[in-house]
């Protein structure tokens, strides 16, 4: 007990000495009163091991020291602040450095989280241009000339004769990846896309997509399904409900659409899910034989899968935003 008494007295003297010399009072506070490794906290942790008599004597002494340190630091801070503004050499009109304010946009925040997920599983994060050629945006992806998706009613062309356009999906990045790199390939890309759409609560002419592509030996649909299931559980939690169904997409074969149970209405139907109870969040599938061949990858040796997520819909579900115009517009929509 006498040893602990001595330690309390030594700490009291040590604190008084360091208080006079301290340049940063917050650092001093943490040194003595930090919840994990504070010098006083360490002594408090020893109390339960003492006898009842020792606790009655040393407990109050330690609490008194703790309270006194808090009071001394608080009063010293107040005194220093008062002295600072009494200094005649201080120019109170001098502008202070701007405070850091604001935060990431919900879409950018979500992209960062998704990137972290895929990096963990060995994916590279790649970017691609928003102004594209018909070759990368359509042809390589098994969308021939005259296909409905290439129509002016859907696509925003910069120069129709030269085949220059604003990309309609991030699958154009997939085209570039498959053409420029050799398997094994594992990459993701987020980016803005553009289509000739009428603005409403769930659609816009400008939107975000998130693309993923994997090519290696023995890749199959089960790999794709497991990847997407893990991803949605990461982003929304273990209780997320998904529906996997066959769907036709020209660039993949077979194709798979994924619906997520609407988190606004829990499947009962609302405006956000168009009263279906489910929201289509992405299209995916095994990369088409023709696409691999066009990009110089032997489809008899390698297989792969690709997916394109409607990133805005994921953001809306994650943050409870029921109108896409709230994400990017300056107006308020009820």
| Each residue's pLDDT tens digit, 157-199 | 999 899 999 999 999 999 999 999 999 999 999 999 999 888 7
pLDDT band at 333 (very low <50, low <70, confident <90, very high): very low
Handedness of CA 14, 16, 21, 27 (dihedral sign): positive
User: By the 8 A CB rule, do 83 and 50 touch?
Assistant: no
Quick one: pLDDT at residue 87? 61
Quick one: pLDDT at residue 37? 78
How far is Cα 82 from Cα 154, in angstroms, rounded to an integer?
A: 66
| 3-state SS, residue 135 | helix
Across the range 101-128, mean pLDDT stands at: 93
Of the options 3.30.470.20, 3.40.50.10800, 3.30.930.10, 3.40.50.2300, the CATH number for the domain spanning 106-328:
3.30.930.10
State how far the alpha carbon of 145 is from the alpha carbons of 51, 76, 320, in Å: 88, 77, 40
Site of tokens 């009072």: 25
Work out the end-to-end distance of the chain between its first and last CA atoms, rounded to an integer number of angstroms: 68
User: By the 8 A CB rule, do 111 and 205 touch?
Assistant: no
| Each residue's pLDDT tens digit, 214-267 | 999 999 999 999 999 999 999 999 999 999 999 998 889 999 999 999 988 998
Give domain limits for the chain. Answer: 2-86, 106-328
Residue 179 in tokens: 């053409």
The answer to whether residue 330 scores a pLDDT higher than 50 is yes
């Amino acid at each position: 007990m006498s040893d602990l008494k001595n330690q309390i007295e030594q700490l009291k003297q040590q604190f008084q000495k360091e208080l006079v010399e301290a340049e940063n009072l917050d650092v001093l506070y943490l040194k003595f009163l930090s919840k994990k490794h504070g010098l006083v906290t360490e002594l408090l942790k020893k109390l339960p091991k003492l006898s009842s008599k020792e606790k009655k004597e040393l407990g109050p002494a330690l609490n008194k020291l703790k309270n006194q340190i808090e009071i001394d630091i608080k009063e010293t801070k107040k005194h220093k602040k008062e002295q600072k503004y009494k200094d005649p050499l201080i120019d109170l009109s001098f502008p202070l450095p701007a405070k850091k304010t604001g935060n990431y946009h919900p879409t950018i925040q979500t992209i960062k989280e998704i990137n972290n997920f895929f990096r963990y599983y060995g994916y590279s994060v790649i970017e691609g241009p928003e102004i594209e050629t018909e070759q990368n945006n359509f042809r390589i992806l098994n969308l021939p000339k005259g296909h409905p998706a290439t129509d002016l009613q859907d696509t925003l062309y910069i120069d129709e004769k030269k085949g220059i356009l604003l990309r309609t999906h991030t699958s154009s990045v997939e085209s570039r990846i498959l053409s420029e790199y050799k398997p094994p390939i594992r990459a993701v890309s987020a980016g803005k896309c553009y289509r000739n759409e009428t603005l409403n609560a769930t659609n816009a002419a400008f939107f975000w997509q998130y693309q993923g592509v994997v090519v290696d030996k023995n890749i199959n649909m089960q790999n794709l399904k497991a990847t997407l299931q893990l991803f949605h559980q990461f982003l929304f939690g273990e209780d997320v409900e998904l529906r996997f169904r066959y769907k036709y997409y020209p660039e993949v074969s077979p194709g798979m659409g994924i619906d997520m149970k609407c988190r606004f209405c829990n499947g009962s139907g609302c405006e956000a899910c168009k009263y279906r109870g489910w929201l289509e969040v992405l299209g995916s599938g095994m990369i088409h034989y023709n696409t691999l061949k066009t990009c110089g990858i032997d489809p008899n040796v390698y297989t792969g899968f690709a997916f394109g997520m409607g990133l805005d819909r994921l953001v809306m579900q994650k943050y409870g935003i029921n109108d896409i115009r709230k994400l990017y517009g300056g107006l308020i929509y009820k």
